[in-house]
Each structure stands twice: as structure tokens, then as C-alpha cells.
Amino acid sequence: MIFKLIVAAITTGVISGFFIVFYEFLIDRMTKLFFFGNPFETIPNLPVWYLYALPTVAIFIVNYIVTKDKNVREYGVNEIAESISQNRMILKIKTLFLKIIASALSLSTGFAVGTEGPSAGIGAMIAYQIHRVFGMQQLLIKMMISLGASSGIAAVFVSPITGMAFAVENIAYQFIKQYIAYLILASVVAFAVSINYLEPILFIHSTGRMIDEEYLVATVMFIPFITAFVYFYLFLKQRVLSLIDLEIFAKMTRYRNHIFALIGGGVVGTILLIEPHAAFSGKAMVMHLINSENPIPLYFILAMIILRIVGTTVAIYANAVGGIFLPLMSIGALIGYGFAEAFSAVHFAVEPFYFAAIGAAVFMGVLMKLPLTAVILAMETTFDYNVVIATGISVVMVEYLSNLHFHIQRRNATRANTSEAQKEKIRVQSETPTEEKETKE
């Protein structure tokens, strides 16, 4: 059994690594195809109607794919594991390729979603198929799925420890003592494959073990600053889009996906017209912000924050297939950079790229309820104690302050409700059909 687990872990890592590389390359090629080259250079020369038509047509195709296979939309790894272990879901090879196509379509046409959610799902699907091919015991299925998810995250971020932390914080709790070795093996192997083809997020300004105590003062000030933007993000999603979804279109459930596809296409088209950098996954933006030495105007940063928050929340409701790990990081990086610019103007100077790295990890960690992953991501991308310490303090305090008013749930990292009545309303609308279906069966 041990030999079989070792072989399964290595096989999962290798296959996941190459699938993620293929997935990233596919997105890159499709983006250049749809925008006739580098979108940041070609968009100003493209017709306005085309910038609106492209994301709208793409999201309608994505929604059509989702209607043919609902598992394409699901990228909550814990939910995948639970559904499979309870025999409520079977992942097919067809689902794997449909997920890649749907996600690539979403990302390459400008929707502000990330590659990490589908990557975790792709890894989980590969691990599930290997579990079946190897004829492994049913009780090992959760372990295999967590192993696959970690290898997918390790490959797409080109960061093995981040992949491990992601799996641990999601579904691998009960398997840590017994199966952590295989999770490490799969993550490292997938990383070894992807590092030859993909570019990791690296912080070039690291001072390593040198701690600047003045940054602790700025960190204390940064906590309420980023908390305000967490509130804004949750307010927009919960109060505005949930209102549209649950109230305005409550009697038009049949056309819900079509309506939000039109809204999504219109919003993405507008963002592409205003500022193309506010669209797409945001990985390039994160890397630019944490490594840029040229100052960026504060008004531009604020505009980008608003556009990315709107773009990300709308993409979720429009059923764009992708994760929000990277989009949330990009929003956090913008918030951190903007804070440092504003703080430097009224107090002592702090380097914007430091707080861009801190903000990226904290914003993602709070909204996805992944504090350990946030700290490890900060460590693995920067190797700087100033960033790691500030991230550790901030992610805990901001989560506490956010939960004073909002109830952030881990499922899909997209729900937040402020009242029991609203929670019950969402629960009834989202869970009752499933319960009725199970009763009938």
C-alpha cells in the first residue's frame, strides 16, 4: 500500500504539473488570439463593439458548458471531496477538459477570475482518476483529492509550500499525521514540472532577516485601512449583487444565468475600455506592484481597486469559471500599494512594494479564510520577515474586525451575509432543491 501511495503521489504530481502548464499556455494563446496580440497594447485600437461582444459571447458559451456539466463550475475542493465520498458526484475525463476550456474562455476574454481555483480542481480530478485506476480504497479518496489539489496549486503558483498549506487548510486536517508525506511528494513533483515552464511570483526587494521596526507602526495603521476595503468588497457583493440576484430577478430564475451573463459581458467590456489592466486574472499586476520601483499615482490605484472589485464580484455571479485567489491578491496588492503612497505623504516614507505584498496575502487570506496559506504565501514569495510578520498580524486582526459585521463562509469564498434572515433566504434557495431531489431519490 505504501509503495502504491508513493507511485500515486508522483504520478499525480507529474500529470498535474503538465496539465497546469498546458492550461496556462492555452490561456495565453487564446488571449493573444482574441485580442490580436498583447491585449494591453491592442485594446486601444480595437472597436468598442468588439470589446463588449467578446466577453459577452464567451460567458454565454461558458454558461452553456456549465448547463451540460454542472461539475465544470464547481471548484470548491472540499465540496468536491465530500460529494465524491458520499457518491453524489462522479468526475469524468470529459469534465476535466470542459473545465479547462470554460476557464480558459473566461480568463482569456477579460473576466477577473484566477487560475488557481480551476488548477486545484484540475489536480483534484486527476487525483480522482488515478485513485480509480490504481484501485485504491474508498477511504483514501479525500486524501487523494487533497493531494491533487495541492499539486495543482503548487504548479500554478510555482510554490510547493503554498500548495501544501492550501490543501491542509481545506480538507487534509485528518490526514496530516498519516498522509502528509504523500501530499508533500505530489506538491514538490508538480512544482518541479511547472518551474521549467511557468514564472513564479517573486519579491525582488527582500531584505530577508533584517526587521525594520518602523514598519510595525505602519502595519498597525494598515489594519483598519485594509479592513475598510474588505467591508466595501463584501458590501458590494452581499448588498448589491445579492439584492439583484435574490430580489430583482427572484421571479426570473429561469433567465438568471442569461441576465448575469449580459451584465458580466457589459461590465468586462466597460473595464476593458477604461483600463485593460483591471481585467484578467491579476497575476501580472501583483508581480508588477510588488516589484515596481516607479511611483504609481494614487488616483489611478483607487480607480483600479474599484474596477477590480466590481469586475471580480460580477464575474462570480456571471458564472465565469475560475478562482478568486489571484483576483483577491491583486486587489490586496493595489490596496497595500495605495496605503503606502498615502502613508508616505503624511508620515515617514515606507516602500509601496512591501505593503503591496502584505496586502495581497492579507486580502486573500481573510476573504478565503486561509490565514495559514496567506502567511506561507507571503513567506514563499518574499522571504522577508518584514512582510511575514506584518501579514501574520494583519490577517488575524482584519479577519476579526471583518467578522464583527459580516459572516464570511469558506464555501467558494464568495458568500457573506449580515443577517440571519438573509442567511436563511440564501440557504432555502440554494439547498432546498438539493434536499428535495435527494428525498425523491
Domain ranges of the chain: 2-194, 214-420
**Which of helix, strand or coil describes residue 407?**
strand
C-alpha cell of 196?
521549467
Q: What does the alpha-carbon distance between residue 417 and residue 385 come to, in Å, rounded to a whole number?
A: 35
Q: What does the alpha-carbon distance between residue 282 and residue 286 come to, in Å, rounded to a whole number?
A: 6
Per-residue pLDDT, averaged over 150-163, amounts to 89
Buried b (16+ CB within 10 A) or exposed e, 366-395: bbbbbbebbbbbbbbbbebbbbbbbbbbbb
Question: pLDDT at position 140, please?
Answer: 82
Per-residue pLDDT, averaged over 31-56, amounts to 96
Domains 2-194 and 214-420 belong to one CATH topology: yes
Note the pLDDT tens digit of each residue in 49-83: 999 999 999 999 999 999 988 878 765 555 565 55
Q: What does the alpha-carbon distance between residue 369 and residue 401 come to, in Å, rounded to a whole number?
A: 13
Could you tell me which CATH number the domain at 214-420 has? 1.10.3080.10
Q: pLDDT class for 249, splitting at 50, 70, 90?
A: low
Could you tell me which CATH number the domain at 2-194 has? 1.10.3080.10
Per-residue pLDDT, averaged over 206-235, amounts to 86
For the chain, the residue count is 441
Per-residue pLDDT, averaged over 246-256, amounts to 69
User: What are the residues whose beta carbons fall under 8 Å from the beta carbon of 64, sequence distance 6 or more?
Assistant: none
Question: pLDDT at position 323, please?
Answer: 84
Q: What does the alpha-carbon distance between residue 408 and residue 234 come to, in Å, rounded to a whole number?
A: 9
